[in-house]
Chain A
Amino acid sequence: MVNSTIDMPSARTSGRSERTAWQRLSASRNWLGFWYMMPAALILILFLAYPLFLGVWLSFTDTKIGRGGEFIGFENYEWLWDDGVFWVSVFNTLLYTIVASIAKFVIGLYLALLLNRHLPFKAMIRAIVLIPFIVPTVLSAIAFWWIYDSQFSIISWSLRQLGWISGNINFLGDPWNARWSTIFANVWRGVPFIAITLLAGLQTVSPSLYEAATLDGATPWQRFRHITYPLLTPIIAVVMTFSVLFTFTDFQLIWALTRGGPVNATHLMATLSYQRAIIAGQLGEGAAISTAMIPFLLAAIGIAWYGLQTRKWQQGGSND
């Protein structure tokens, strides 16, 4: 930036040196790189990096909608510390993330192993499996809302016809039922992504390894444990990091299904921060809740990173 304004006028005095200076500049990788990065950098700095810091700052103020705030130190956090609903939301978020992630991983890996076998119509089956991931979450959540209806739930109806239950199940009206129901919907939505990405990893594993192991008398479990799992670890680490991050910060599924109800029992940290900041107008307090999510996110990324590094080290060396 600065260079150009200084170079250009001085170079203009003689035609020849102007050309060379301009040519040198347009051939300069750093100069070009700067301009090529500009659009992406502008958007990311303005609408991602800046809000990230602004959010942390807001959490230390008492800003409300329509009124600028003043710095009040840790008051928002002290307030949250004594707030039972906040702790319920932390508990829910952890439960939701841990249970859903483990379930998604187990079912996703199982589905990937199934899809990796020799199947007729393999491409079509794979395409069908991915559909829950394509359809907007809110719209499939609406379908689940109807499936979970307290009176006309098809699940209740089927179980009643089978004679397993006598009354309707109140899926979203009871705190624990609502938690398990939302977790199920999240798993349903997340499994295809994990299955298809792990399948892509599985397809890179050479079948000759399995053949050799089978000849040596390895059982299916041993083949999985000592061939599939180690070779798949890097991709598992990446996929699960993404899965954990997105589950932890999930908003739309809960919002469409329960809006945090019944009586705040299914609030995640993200939905609670929306409730407090946008609906109740307490921007500062909402920002404090979302800032409180950051340490958890960093921990998740750290664990994944550590896992990848350890695996690399065990497998010997820096080969990627």
Chain B
Amino acid sequence: MTSIDAGTTSSGGNRAATQDHSEGMAYLETLPKRVVTTYIPLFLIIVVLLFPFYWMALTAVKPDDQLIDMDRVNPFWTWTPTFKHFYKLLFESEYPRWLWNTMFIATCATFISLVASVLAAYAIVRLRFKGGNVVGALIFLAYLVPPSILFIPLATVIYKVGLFDTPLALILVYPTILIPFSTWLLMGYFKTIPYELEECALIDGASRSQILIKIILPLAIPGLISAFIFSFTLCWNEFIYALTFLSSTQNKTVPVAIVNEFVDGDIYRWGSLMAGALAGSLPLVILYAFFVEHYVSAMTGAVKE
């Protein structure tokens, strides 16, 4: 229920309703008071939250000599932006390759986990098989097992099955993080779809798989998008498994490559380091900008259930 509520706030009417809602007793406060108690603290927090990104972007386009000379030029701005660092990144390093690795791994892992989660969530919510509730609880518990306590034994498993230093290792391991979350989220969505639809289809002779594909999935598309976006972001962000399971330079993902390959003693490395960090974040931020509501509903939905 809750996750659907959150998901539909993107529709215009609903948003207007929530805004009217939240106005509440705001008219009781005078403007100066509101500025002091609301706008100024909010502004300060947002400045602190965004400053590292501003600094990242500024450093990425600053000429090298300005980076370390803070006395003659004001460090908070530059009038002579350069794209040298991005050029170096794209044409003189393996950055495009790392970006591709990250995207490929994230897409495959997300796809696998979505298929597995849709089936599992449907089975738990709608098939109500024997022990379904126990399985649901176990999946939730799986969400609470952090990668930090699994990476050592997993490394031995990966090594034994011969997947060490291959993208497939991450594609198979990431779903362990994604499936519990997506299943839990999709269970919430499936619960809101009325039983009657399914009963009608059953009477008309549809099989369970037909019902799932032709009736449930189209109705759960907002949930699928939410699960997809959130899972994709989690994959992109994952670090410890990628650091442990990949060893050769050309196989690395962006976060690991930035930390391991760019960090040398060079005092001028900051420009390309920041350019790399920026280029690694931008695809996610753009994706996020298009699907903010889905992302938020994924986040809040999974917590509320």
Contact = CB atoms under 8 A, between A and B. Distances in A.
Contacts of A210: 24-25
B216 interface: no
B220 to A, nearest CB: 15
A146 to B, nearest CB: 6
A117 B144 contact: no
B146 to A, nearest CB: 4
Contact of A143 (B52, B123, B135, B288): B52
Contact of B55 (A111, A127, A154): A154
Interface in B201-260: 207-208, 233, 236-237, 239-240, 243-244, 254-256, 258-259
Given A131-B285, A146-B55, A242-B303, A33 B49 contact: no
Q: How large, as a class, is the contact surface on chain A?
A: 35 or more
Interface stretch (B81-89, B92-100, B175-183, B189-197): B175-183
B108 interface: no
B142 A44 contact: yes
A51 interface: yes
Nearest to B234: A136
A98 interface: no
A137 B103 CA distance: 17
B149 A36 contact: no
Interface core residue of A118, A201, A248 (most chain B CB under 10 Å): A118
Contact of B239 (A130, A132, A251, A287): A251
A37 B53 CA distance: 42
B152 A290 contact: yes
A147 B55 contact: yes
Contacts of A26: 207-208
B156 A140 contact: no
Interface stretch (A83-91, A172-180, A189-197): A189-197
Interface string A214-238: 1000000000000000000001001
The 3 A-B pairs of least Cβ separation, nearest first, read A33-B129, A36-B123, A200-B300
21 contacts: A29-B129, A30-B129, A30-B130, A36-B120, A41-B120, A44-B139, A48-B142, A48-B145, A114-B41, A131-B288, A139-B255, A140-B277, A152-B67, A154-B76, A193-B299, A207-B24, A210-B24, A211-B25, A273-B152, A278-B152, A297-B149
Interface of A: 26, 29-30, 32-34, 36-41, 43-44, 47-52, 54-55, 58, 63, 107, 110-111, 114-119, 122-123, 125-132, 134-140, 142-144, 146-147, 149, 151-152, 154, 157, 188, 191-193, 196-197, 200-201, 203, 207, 210-211, 214, 235, 238-239, 242, 245-246, 248-252, 255-256, 269-270, 273-274, 277-278, 283, 286-287, 290-291, 293-294, 297, 301
